Chain A
Amino acid sequence: MTSAVAARAARRVHAEPAKRAWIFRMTWPRAYLLSFVAIGAFAAAYRLLFGLGAATNLSDRWPWGIWVWWDVMTGVALAGGGYSMALMVNFLGREKWKSLERAAFLTSLIGYLLVVGGLFLDLGRWTNVWRVPLFWTGNPHSVMFELVWCVSGYTFIQIVEFGHIFVERVKAPRLSALLHKIYAPVLIVGVILPFLHQSALGSLYVIAKGRLDPLWWSMLLPVFFLMSSFFIGPAMVTAEGFLSARFRGHRPPVKVLGQMVRLSGALMMVYFALKVFDLASRGVMGNLFDGSIRSLLFLAEIGLGILLPAFLFLNPRTRRSPRYLVIGATMAVVGLALNRGNVVFAGMAAAAHGATYLPSLMEVAVTIGLVAAGILVYAFVVDNFPIIPEGQSETPASAQAVTRSRPYTVFVPKPRIRSEDPPPPGS
């Protein structure tokens, strides 16, 4: 069976790009995802036509909810893998990580497109959105100004960057030449903008001094948000690498992933030290141990989301074990979502004066629909463009023989192939 797949892959490699058909394999998981997208699209349309009150459980006490937490705050941070990989590979000499750059970069691009979508759906007066590009009428002192401009600018930059992958398959010589010419400046702006808006997401809450709980309110919020978006990058690439390896039937590049998460682990320790310093310097260390729900949430965020993954990433033995690598990466991602949730919900609960918020079904449907759309787009792009390298030394030898000539290969295994896979990593 493996040799049949290899032969198929070989045909693919040698076929002319123009003759290759666009693939979208329909599988059961994908059918489910499509139905989630349809439900989400319906909820989104309903929300735009009938208003925020009709579709959401938001209120004057809880003006920001699950969309701000997940679609914006967490989404932008989890997409941080794009700029952190770009910085490490293209500027700081981590050439060996280049093979994973495209996957990180694709997640980032899709993440940002979803963020822009989520942000738009959250606008109560969305018909006035055309005013946003009129920057000379805007207020540059607002953090939202910085955020919106950097997020939309970076999304555009990423679309341009994706052009390089696009022209590998779709022949467009003029576009290709233009992209080549602007490659370096695009790369540089593509690192500056994320630094600005990742930190801006934290700066948003600086004005909420007195409303945001002192466990989270800090003048260092922008630094914390920036750092966490950076160190979550490799963790996200790892989690995603394992997921995609599972579904596509190849082995994840554990060695390179281990090198990457080591950097995350080191930055997590710096982050932890800074958090301790921050709490101590503001004299709120005592609040940590008052047994309140928010103190427990804070401890969970630091313990499970920072210290545990940092330990697993820094310890050479756990770093080389696929199992612990996945556990560490998953905990880091969960910890990050928890941190953003703590800022958006737990930290603001006291300012809501007892009012509660639970997202409505429509809010949840929109969020799930956006995530499902993201996964489908990811799957489609990976099926049709050379994103995930398959010729690494850790893949089966037969596949290696086919792909040696090219760094990237479009490789479409049948779903059945998984039964004949090499034993799953970690066993």
Chain B
Amino acid sequence: MLSDVTESERDSVAQQGISRRKFLGLCPVALASVATVGQSSTAVVDDKSRQLAKEHGNDPALLVDLTKCVGCGACVDACKKKNALEVRADQPASGPNAVLASSNWTVVESHNVGEEVSPVKRQCMHCLEPACASVCFVKALVKTEAGPVTYDPNKCIGCRFCLMACPFGIPTFDWDATLGQVSKCNMCVDRTSQGLPTACAEACPSGALTFGHRVDLLAEAHSRMTADPGKYVDHVYGESEVGGTSVLYISDVPFEKLGFVSLGKEPLPEYTWRITRWIPPVAMGLGAALVALYARRMKVLEEEGEILRAGREGL
């Protein structure tokens, strides 16, 4: 008799378990709809990029006019000298095998487009909202107030999440050192903070590199494009890519033929933020639910225990 009561109590616990399991199954569905609904509309994205452009209009910036670049490599030499970087045979800084690396903060790649060889200078794009800095949890990589994205090796723990996150594949790691550093262009932050142009811009003999405020360089890029219709591809690379960058490119060859990746307008950190902003409410909601469930379980166990005790005494 008494043990029957206990059994039925147990069954009720089991039945509750089943309904909870259904609930458990519904949780991810709810999360899914939240994540899907959480996509930003184009209007919101446009607003965001206008706001970013306004905020960073006076940031130091670089305009690269690829039609004027002759591929001489003077920018590369100036960068190496300015930042005391080695010349390494296994890390060519110009030509078809040029590769950004620990000793190359900027390179001049050569791309074969039809019969011609097009040189393309590459370095950190200095995003208005950089993915690398957003993922760096020790704040070794930061977007400075002034604009350039800088790196502090004393803070870096070397997790290399920045290498994973950068949509342009810019940061590199010094694999040969026991305690390697992340390396990338810092836009000559010591010079540019005093209003001086970057070392590469100063060294450029062909006028391919122009240093100035971002808003002015955007105007300059568009005026060059309207002054000579048909010469340029109708796109300023970096004007809106991932929310905008401080390095801007104009070109007579379509960008995708020169190894530029095609990117959306939305800053990449926004995607992460749409998820991480749910952490506090989810953690608190989950905590509250667990406290309630635990209290209920304790009550059930206690009742069960009392029934058992009563049963023993009765016998």
Contacts and interface: CB of A to CB of B under 8 A. Distances in A.
Given A51-B176, A144-B135, A271-B28, 5 more contacts: A51-B179, A126-B179, A207-B134, A223-B32, A353-B169
B17 interface: yes
Nearest to B288: A188
Interface in B136-175: 136-139, 153-161, 163-165, 167, 169, 172-175
A190 to B, nearest CB: 10
B161 A52 contact: no
- Chain B CB within 10 Å, residue with most, of A50, A94, A209, A226: A209
A226 B275 CA distance: 13
Nearest to B176: A53
A195 B24 CA distance: 13
A142 B134 CA distance: 6
Given A122-B159, A220-B35, A191 B167 contact: no
B136 A63 contact: no
Given A204-B161, A219-B35, A274 B294 contact: no
B173 to A, nearest CB: 6
B146 to A, nearest CB: 19
Contacts of B44: none
**Interface class of chain B by DSSP:** helix
B290 A91 contact: yes
B293 interface: yes
- Interface range on chain A: under 10, 10 to 19, 20 to 34, or 35 or more? 35 or more
A123 B158 contact: yes
Contact of B177 (A51, A192, A277): A51
Interface in A179-232: 184, 187-188, 191-192, 195-196, 203-211, 219-220, 222-223, 226-227
B157 A146 contact: no
A350 B269 CA distance: 21
B137 A142 contact: yes
A306 to B, nearest CB: 14
B161 to A, nearest CB: 5
B165 A124 contact: no
B161 A144 contact: yes
B275 A63 contact: no
A313 B57 CA distance: 59
Contacts of B25: 266-267, 270
A239 to B, nearest CB: 22
15 contacts: A51-B176, A91-B290, A94-B17, A124-B156, A125-B157, A128-B158, A132-B157, A143-B272, A188-B291, A195-B286, A207-B134, A207-B272, A220-B32, A226-B28, A277-B32
